[in-house]
Structure 1
Amino acid sequence: MNSQLQLDDYQLVIRALSDRLVEAQTPIRVLDAVKWDDNVRKAFLKGKGKELPQVGRDYYAGRPLGFDSGAKKLEFQNIERDITRQLGQFNPVGQIMRRMCKEYRMVIRMLEARGTSDFGLISQELYGSASDAFHAGDPTLADLGLMFSDYLNKIDDRGDLKDEPKTLTAKDAVAILQGRLNTVFGEAQSTIRVFESDGILADAAAGADYIKIRSDAMFNERDVRALEVHEGLVHVGTTLNGLNQPICTFLAKGPPSSTITQEGLAILMEVIAFASYPSRLRKLTNRTRAIHMAEEGADFLQVFDFFREQGFDMEQSYANASRSFRGSTPDGLPFTKDLSYLKGFILIYNYIQLAVRKGKLEAIPLLFCGKATLEDMRTLRQLVDEGLVVPPKYLPPQFRDLNALSAWMCFSNFLNHLSLDRIEADYANIL
């Protein structure tokens, strides 16, 4: 944190309100609050995957949140009131912080509703639905998932793009990743830790100053490269840039709206760094399709069977299906956070493409200034000009030098005007 900067009275007010917001959200741990414990998994697998997991309202009642939800909602209400009192109704920083207060109150309401139909409905408000369109008349996320599946099936049919064997243990992945992040972040390396954990559902997860690797997961070199780009360059990088903010400290923490931006940016980085691969994309596509199935009325067993049909074993299929129903019930509406990856990718890609088209390249690196939300980007540019937000210190090479990215987006802008159907017909004789 930059403590050398002398702040004026206005900046001190913003800093104090921002710090209150950061402090208030500290005990809220969404993924910890919604996950199912190992007993649920063991019971389901013992039953050979024939019966719905025994998870209902009572199950979550036995898993307290770790904070007083009523008092916490009131705390955010008071912060929001003080933001208006001290900064006014139309202050740009105040508008961002007030929206964050509202989002965190909604998050708490969602967690209070675990095991009820309201949980899924609030999740859709926060993270979106698979049936949401990107723009009027455009395909939905569900359409995108089916389209990607069709493409990936054609690639799989070739048989020559199979994944390399996963011969790296979690311990191996930790050592490789730690070394690479030490190189990337330089003097910040002493604060970034990579370690094994047996308490996470995904293969890896990033926190404020760490990356956890699931103890029993196996990796190949391609997997580790994706983790370096996704968890390291984006999630850790934006956290460090947020922690580097001397005034708007709230940029070090992100509500659900920033999750969509964060995950979209991480997937885009995988693509432009050539760190993604078909089976990785299929994982994201399957998550989207699973959520869409649950939104359309499929229960846990039907989603579990879907993953079995995709070639996953019972353990993997359970883990994949449980991502969609955590926080909910096995026959309820899904937890839609996993839509953030593909949804965020499309939104971020469109944003960068438009920034290049309009010649506003300075807007692109600001995606990394912290846990930013796409709708706040214009405001963040204004705040950088005013000195209230500092530009990102840690940027991936592709965003530090925008030459290649700008050239790519220029071509992309033109290619968007071509008809793929017409191209397919014209190229029929040569492909």
Structure 2
Amino acid sequence: MNLREELDDYQLTVRALSDRLVEAQTPIRVLDAVKWDDSIRQGFFDAHCKRLPQVDQAYYQSRPLAFDAEAKKREFQDIERDITRQLGQFNPVGQIMRRMCREYRMVIRMLEARGTADFGLISQELYGAATDAFHAGDPTLADLGLMLSDYLNNIADRSDLQDEPRTLTANQAVELLQSRLDGVFGEGEGVVRVFESDGILADAAAGADYIKIRSDAMFNVRDIKALEVHEGLVHVGTTLNGLSQPICTFLAKGPPSSTVTQEGLAILMEVIAFASYPTRLRKLTNRTRAIHLAEEGADFLDIFQFFHDQDYSQEESYSNASRVFRGSTPSGLPFTKDLSYLKGFILIYNYIQLAVRKGKLEQIPLLFCGKTTLEDMRTLRQLVDEGLVAPPRYLPEQFRDLNALSAWMCFSNFLNHLSLDRIEADYANIL
């Protein structure tokens, strides 16, 4: 698009401010800044898993950030000030961009605080805490984790629910996943690439237009389906939708508030696409429970033992425990980003349920416009109507035709009013 020809002065102003915001956040890579290198893992196992990993504030100081923190905070302050000057205090798109500026400054403060108590406190401000309630009087995330664990324990010994053997190599997983994503994003266009990588902690990780598969990981077909839905349809799809925005380019990048929304959307997609399974759900609940334990004072050894007691191998237990304390110290407050999955799922599910109840179905697909944040959804609807935001180009099948989703949510709205305790008592003689 030739911006000078296609956009009016107001749209050009929004686009220019949006581009500045995108450029300013480019060097901020939270997970790279907080991860522990392999020497920490090796030292822990050399000590026979009996000594806390050797991570303190000095360790992080030896791994400087990829940007000047003070200069970067001033840059976001300047952008925020220019947004107000050029768009006004109450301009809707300006309010979104100003909040993003404030969030990025908070992210920088968190990274500056690596290895200190402030790191965990700022993490809770950005991503939440396990003791947060969804609404007054409702269960907390910690309660949800325990509740789901109880349900999963009731079905844990069923032979018909055991995971299929993981016989697919990383190379086979790449071929199968690439084939599936070509059917979604276009074959032969190179829109989305899938390839092997040695440098990732998880089995897979999504980028702007690619998915990396860990070279030494093994998979089954169910894993591939989950990766297609979670990493492909949601994470890559929303990024591509954000990158195709002609004006609000900031939707291609997500601050922490969008992380909760995007991870929740990804888990919801796993559920409604029948791509989730008990082992996957247990992984998410265990992460939530581990963060809660750390918030209550558990250290790395306690969390390592917690995962080992859940039948994870020592390598898996270390990997999971290090996710909890990365950026912090092995006896400090946790990094709470992994709460985003279950927290986001509940928030997104409630949002869609309410949208159906109020007859505002047009709001639902807008979740995929880019790296959206739930609190911005009403504003995004306004921005789409004004032509500042383009509707999502890539949309999962379940959100293209809302018939089935609407029917499900209508029943769900009714079922929420039933008492499960009363139902359990009534069904005692037949179940």
User: Normalising by the residue count of structure 1, what TM-score does the alignment of the two structures yield?
Assistant: 0.98
SS at match of 2:6: coil
SS at match of 1:55: coil
Pairwise mapping of residues 216-235 of structure 1 onto structure 2 (< 5 A)? 216-235=216-235
Quick one: distance in 1 between partners of 2:251 and 2:234? 14
Residue 112 (structure 1) aligns with: 112
Residue 248 (structure 2) aligns with: 248
Shift of 1:2: 8.8
Residue 69 (structure 1) aligns with: 69
Quick one: distance in 2 between partners of 1:125 and 1:187? 42
Quick one: distance in 2 between partners of 1:278 and 1:302? 24
Residue 236 (structure 2) aligns with: 236
Shift of 1:48: 1.4
Quick one: distance in 1 between partners of 2:48 and 2:195? 33
Cα contact 1:45–1:315 (8 A) shared by 2: no
Cα contact 2:353–2:413 (8 A) shared by 1: yes
Quick one: distance in 2 between partners of 1:32 and 1:181? 27
Residue 325 (structure 2) aligns with: 325
Residue 215 (structure 2) aligns with: 215
Shift of 1:187: 6.6
Answering whether residue 380 of structure 2 is matched by residue 380 of structure 1, we say yes
Answering whether residue 41 of structure 2 is matched by residue 41 of structure 1, we say yes
Change beyond 3 A, Cα 1:331–1:189? farther
Residue 79 (structure 1) aligns with: 79
Quick one: distance in 1 between partners of 2:311 and 2:48? 17
Pairwise mapping of residues 157-176 of structure 1 onto structure 2 (< 5 A)? 157-176=157-176
Shift of 1:157: 2.6
Pairwise mapping of residues 115-154 of structure 1 onto structure 2 (< 5 A)? 115-154=115-154
Cα contact 1:193–1:211 (8 A) shared by 2: yes
Residue 308 (structure 1) aligns with: 308
Quick one: distance in 2 between partners of 1:129 and 1:98? 24
SS at match of 1:245: coil
Quick one: distance in 2 between partners of 1:331 and 1:60? 15
Change beyond 3 A, Cα 1:390–1:420? same
Residue 58 (structure 2) aligns with: 58
- Runs of 4+ in structure 1 over 2 Å off: 1-5, 157-160
Quick one: distance in 1 between partners of 2:119 and 2:306? 23
Shift of 1:46: 1.6
Unmatched 5+ residue regions in structure 1? none
Change beyond 3 A, Cα 1:298–1:241? same
Answering whether residue 421 of structure 2 is matched by residue 421 of structure 1, we say yes
Quick one: distance in 2 between partners of 1:65 and 1:333? 21
Shift of 1:4: 9.8
Which amino acid in 2 is paired with 1:316?
E
Cα contact 2:3–2:12 (8 A) shared by 1: no
Residue 179 (structure 1) aligns with: 179
Quick one: distance in 1 between partners of 2:219 and 2:231? 15
Quick one: distance in 1 between partners of 2:5 and 2:355? 31
Shift of 1:188: 8.6
Change beyond 3 A, Cα 1:371–1:340? same
Shift of 1:3: 6.3
Cα contact 2:185–2:191 (8 A) shared by 1: no
SS at match of 1:156: coil
Residue 271 (structure 2) aligns with: 271
Residue 19 (structure 1) aligns with: 19
The alignment covers a number of residue pairs equal to 431
Shift of 1:223: 0.5
Cα contact 1:5–1:246 (8 A) shared by 2: no
Quick one: distance in 1 between partners of 2:131 and 2:24? 33
Cα deviation digits, residues 381-420 of structure 1 (max 9, x gap): 0000000001001100000000000000000000000000
Shift of 1:189: 4.1
Residue 100 (structure 2) aligns with: 100
Cα contact 1:115–1:329 (8 A) shared by 2: yes
Which amino acid in 1 is paired with 2:75?
E
Unmatched 5+ residue regions in structure 2? none
Shift of 1:183: 1.1
Residue 346 (structure 1) aligns with: 346
Shift of 1:200: 1.5
Shift of 1:251: 0.3
Pairwise mapping of residues 344-423 of structure 1 onto structure 2 (< 5 A)? 344-423=344-423
Which amino acid in 1 is paired with 2:220?
N
Change beyond 3 A, Cα 1:4–1:180? farther
Cα contact 1:2–1:244 (8 A) shared by 2: no
Identity %: 83
SS at match of 2:160: coil
Quick one: distance in 1 between partners of 2:23 and 2:172? 35
SS at match of 2:78: helix
Which amino acid in 1 is paired with 2:104?
Y
Residue 205 (structure 1) aligns with: 205
Quick one: distance in 2 between partners of 1:187 and 1:229? 17
SS at match of 1:160: helix
SS at match of 1:190: coil
Quick one: distance in 2 between partners of 1:158 and 1:34? 39
SS at match of 2:376: helix
Quick one: distance in 1 between partners of 2:280 and 2:121? 28
Which amino acid in 2 is paired with 1:322?
S
Which amino acid in 1 is paired with 2:409?
M
Cα deviation digits, residues 254-279 of structure 1 (max 9, x gap): 00000000000000000000000000
SS at match of 1:364: helix
Shift of 1:14: 0.1
